[in-house]
């Protein structure tokens, strides 16, 4: 349960900041029917989990075999994760559009793929963050941890869709800004934890 909860909190801190995926979800919830908005969320969840699995079991598995690579990725990853968190403190949330035409399900599916897999920042962040955490986990807990990450994706995107859809008139850029600040703080803490793991590995 400890590693599932760690994956869950890590996953929530990773997906909650207002980036391309969340703006896509928010715009859909503000401008489409609730049913269409939920379909959009499901598409994003599918691609987000597939990217997380690729990041975690791909580069993460390679790093398990080479200690020198573990050290490099832990060091670079910790610095990048801290930088991601700090950048969230400084980022400005753009105004959300509230009038867009209804799009086809196929176009929604393609757009969900684009904002996830054709988003260099998402790929870099996911690979470095999840790949680095793979190094710190016992082999037997890898599936538990990544299950928590996947659950975070489902919980966050469905909840975001429903909340935005129900209370769309009350959401402002100030609210989204607060979300980024909270998530930034959590991500910085995780970055510090990764750096501490690098120090421990370097000493031994």
The pLDDT value given to residue 93: 58
The pLDDT value given to residue 63: 62
Q: Are 141 and 133 in contact (CB under 8 A)?
A: no
Q: 99 pLDDT exceeds 60? A: no
Proportion of the chain above pLDDT 70, given as a percent: 79
Instruction: Say how far residue 97 (Cα) sits from the centre of its chain.
Output: 22
The pLDDT value given to residue 183: 67
Distances (CA, A) of 43 to 24, 35, 106, 203, 204: 11, 13, 10, 44, 44
Give which of 40, 145, 157, 146 is closest to 100, Cα–Cα: 40
| 114 band by pLDDT with thresholds 50, 70 and 90 | confident
Q: Are 42 and 156 in contact (CB under 8 A)?
A: no
Q: Are 96 and 173 in contact (CB under 8 A)?
A: yes
Report the C-alpha gap between 109 and 33 in whole angstroms: 16
Q: Are 74 and 194 in contact (CB under 8 A)?
A: yes
Per-residue DSSP letter, 129: H
Higher pLDDT, 109 or 29: 109
Q: How many domains does the chain have?
A: 1
Report the C-alpha gap between 115 and 20 in whole angstroms: 6
pTM: 0.69
3-class SS of residue 99: coil
Residue 117 CB-half CA count within 13 A? 15
Structure confidence by residue, pLDDT tens digits, 21-74: 887 888 788 778 888 999 999 999 999 999 888 888 876 666 666 777 777 777
Q: 179 pLDDT exceeds 60? A: yes
- Domain residues for the domain of 153 are 2-203
Structure confidence by residue, pLDDT tens digits, 4-36: 998 898 888 778 775 678 878 887 887 788 889
Structure confidence by residue, pLDDT tens digits, 125-135: 777 778 777 77
């Amino acid at each position: 349960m400890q590693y599932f909860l760690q994956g869950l909190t890590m996953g929530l801190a990773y997906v909650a900041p207002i980036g391309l995926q969340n703006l896509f979800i928010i715009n859909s919830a503000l401008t489409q029917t609730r049913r269409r908005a939920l379909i959009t969320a499901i598409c994003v969840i599918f691609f987000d989990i597939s990217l997380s699995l690729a990041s975690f079991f791909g580069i993460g598995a390679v790093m398990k075999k080479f200690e020198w690579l573990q050290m490099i990725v832990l060091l670079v990853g910790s610095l990048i994760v801290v930088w991601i968190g700090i950048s969230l403190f400084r980022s400005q949330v753009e105004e959300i559009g509230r009038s867009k035409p209804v799009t086809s399900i196929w176009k929604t599916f393609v757009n969900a793929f684009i904002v996830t897999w054709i988003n260099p920042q998402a790929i870099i962040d996911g690979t470095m963050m999840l790949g680095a955490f793979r190094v710190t986990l016992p082999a037997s807990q890898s599936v538990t941890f990544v299950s928590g990450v996947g659950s975070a994706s489902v919980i966050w995107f469905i909840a975001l869709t429903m909340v935005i859809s129900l209370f769309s008139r009350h959401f402002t850029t100030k609210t989204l800004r607060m979300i980024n600040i909270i998530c930034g703080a959590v991500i910085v803490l995780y970055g510090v934890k990764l750096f501490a793991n690098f120090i421990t590995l370097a000493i031994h």
